[in-house]
Amino acid sequence: MRHRDCVVNVNCCLDDAKSRWSPIVDVSWSSDGKVDVELFTGKSFMTRKEAVQAGLEMGIKWIDSWEDL
């Protein structure tokens, strides 16, 4: 997903012991010809779909917190 000249990717990990999904968020952007990446992890969710949605929201919120991106 693209947001404010950034790319947000969300992958999820399943905790088999708890049967819960955790989002892993990757935000990348280009500034001065370089690519920067910031990784996040969040809380866990019952479904993969919920984890992906929460991860996207987390990435967008992080991007919006930076005025100079």
Exposed, middle or buried by CB within 10 Å (0-12, 13-18, 19+), for 59?
buried
| Rounded Cα distance, 18 and 11, in Å | 18
Q: What is the structure's pLDDT at 1?
A: 85
* This model's pTM is above 0.85: no
pLDDT digit string, tens, across residues 6-62: 889 999 999 888 899 999 998 888 777 677 787 877 789 999 999 999 999 999 998
pLDDT beyond 80 at 68: no
Q: What is the structure's pLDDT at 51?
A: 95
| Rounded Cα distance, 24 and 45, in Å | 12
8 Å CB contact between 55 and 42:
yes
